[in-house]
A and B are shown apart, each in its own frame.
Chain A
Amino acid sequence: MTERIVIVGGGTGGTVLANRLTERLEPEIDSGDVEVVLINDGEKQFYKPAYLYVPFGKKDVSEASKPIRDLIPRAVDFRVDRVERVDTDRKRVTLASGGGLSYDQLVLATGANLAPENTPGLVEGGHHFYGPEGAEALREELAEFREGHIVLSVIGVPHMCPAAPVEFTLMVDDWLRKRGLREDVEITYTYPIQRAHGLQSIADWVTPIFEERDVNLETFFNVQEVDPDAQVLETMEGKEMEYDLLVGIPPHEGSDLVREAGLGDDGWVAVDQHTLEAEHAEDVYAIGDAADIPTSKAGSVAHYAAGTVAARIASDVRGEIPTASFDGKTVCFIETGMDEATFVSFDYGSEPTMREPSKPIHWSKLGYNESYWLTARGLI
């Protein structure tokens, strides 16, 4: 009997996993004892970190995608389809194209979905750079923006890439300065809790930078509603703020698939944070943004978690006791302007140390973005 490993989602996590699994289980796959199936609801993978540069005209959305087939070995059975249901009792997934597929091991790598409509008025009144259309529309808006109040508001919690809102704020400041427009533009950054960032060390590091660069910081600010006509934000704490250009980090949602399968109440898969095994079903794992783990929704997390799950599944297939464990490793580059950056790394329960921003780190981030497709292919 062939043991079938089904991966749902061909984003960063799904493709790294497909590569790692085929490496580890090459003999078993060659002999037909193991089969790896990757299902994604489109031919292409989208590389989201590139969207940060689109509003500034530094990257094009078209550069941010590649056919998944080119990112995975031939040995992987890649199917363009949408998984509509997971039955963890019968160990079967139902496909949009009709029919189903049974699995021995299932890995959910379905990512996060943007849900700006969850905040009334946000779709009409705000912009964002978290998706391709949003980033392009913001580019048009910014290109014409010459004076007024730009508000970068972190609205959705949790959201992908906790560094991106800080990055955008520092980039827009630098970009406007370089274009001689900064004097006529006020910039405000708002954050839900009482400091500028969830991580104390990032908050301590960025607060004086905001001050130096004349960026207003508003904390304890949780947008509840946007009035698109009056261009006003209203918060859960009862505050109001006027804006001319709102860049809102939209609310995110997990997947209905997860909720309906009973794998996690709010659409994120409840997993053990070290083994990444689902808490509510056997032989189901989750990696990347879809997993409810106490760290960032970041590509690096999806990448390292994929390595752990590949090792665990390979051990399991061979009848060994899986021992690989995920320690929450997260690495984030942080752009501090248009040509300087820093980076942080940390794991569960640890605080990062901040490094002085530099040009070489900025080039490393750009270099990483360029070579990302090698990462997705499991090569680095």
Chain B
Amino acid sequence: MSESISPDVTVDSRGAACPGPLMDLIGKVQDADPGTVIELQTSDSGSKGDVPEWVEEAGHELLDTVEHDDYWSLYVETTK
């Protein structure tokens, strides 16, 4: 259950314009140690496609996507 995921880091990209939520996430992933759980909050529906695609390409793990009233939380765990 998503409620049980407690992120180590939260990235609030709600309302993000340029350069966008995925770039915010990558910035955090670059600095994070392996095993860090990052919650990306985004109000951009495109992120639901963009983020999983990048996470897979980069070899990290998408733990869950949780829909809230006006944003989504994507939980990503870094593997390296």
Residue of A158, A237, A349 touching B59 (CB-CB under 8 A): A237
B9, B17, B59: most-surrounded residue (chain A CB, <10 A) = B17
- With A192-B23, A193-B22 as given contacts, are A295 and B16 in contact (CB-CB < 8 Å)? yes
- Which stretch from A122-130, A132-140, A182-190, A196-204 is at the chain B interface? A196-204
What string of 1s and 0s marks CB contacts (under 8 Å) between B1-28 and chain A?
0000000010011111111111110110
- Besides the known contacts A236-B58, A237-B58, A330-B18, 14 further A-B residue pairs in the complex with CB atoms under 8 A apart: A158-B27, A162-B18, A193-B23, A197-B19, A198-B18, A199-B20, A220-B54, A236-B30, A265-B9, A296-B19, A328-B15, A346-B17, A348-B16, A349-B16
Q: Is residue A194 contacting chain B, with contact meaning CB distance below 8 A?
A: yes
Indicate if A45 sits at the interface (CB-CB under 8 A). no
Nearest A residue to B19 by beta-carbon distance? A198
Q: Does A97 contact B (CB under 8 A)?
A: no
30 contacts between A and B (CB under 8 A): A157-B19, A157-B24, A158-B23, A162-B19, A192-B22, A192-B26, A193-B23, A193-B26, A193-B50, A194-B54, A194-B57, A198-B22, A198-B23, A220-B54, A237-B58, A237-B59, A251-B30, A294-B16, A294-B17, A294-B24, A296-B17, A296-B18, A328-B17, A330-B17, A330-B18, A346-B17, A348-B15, A348-B16, A349-B16, A349-B17
B59 & A238 in contact (Cβ 8 Å cutoff) = yes
B43 at interface by CB-CB < 8 Å: yes
A153 at the interface (CB under 8 A from B): no
B53 in the interface, Cβ–Cβ < 8 Å? yes
| Set of chain A residues within 8 Å of B15, measured between Cβ atoms | 273, 294, 328, 348-349
Residues of B within 8 A of A31 (CB): none
CB distance from A80 to the nearest CB of B (A): 32
Classify the interface of chain A: helix, strand, loop or mixed.
loop
Q: Which B residues are in CB contact (< 8 Å) with A323?
A: none
Closest B residue to A235 by beta carbon equals B58
Contact residues of B with A, CB < 8 Å?
9, 12-24, 26-27, 29-31, 43, 46, 50, 53-54, 57-59, 80
User: Can you list the 5 inter-chain pairs with the closest CB atoms, starting with the nearest?
Assistant: A198-B19, A294-B16, A198-B20, A157-B27, A348-B15
Q: How far is the CA of A346 from the CA of B22 in the complex (A)?
A: 18
Q: Which residue of B lies closest to A199 (CB)?
A: B18
Q: Is the CB of B50 within 8 A of A194?
A: yes
CB B50 to nearest CB in A, in angstroms, measures: 7
Q: How far is the CA of A364 from the CA of B55 in the complex (A)?
A: 40
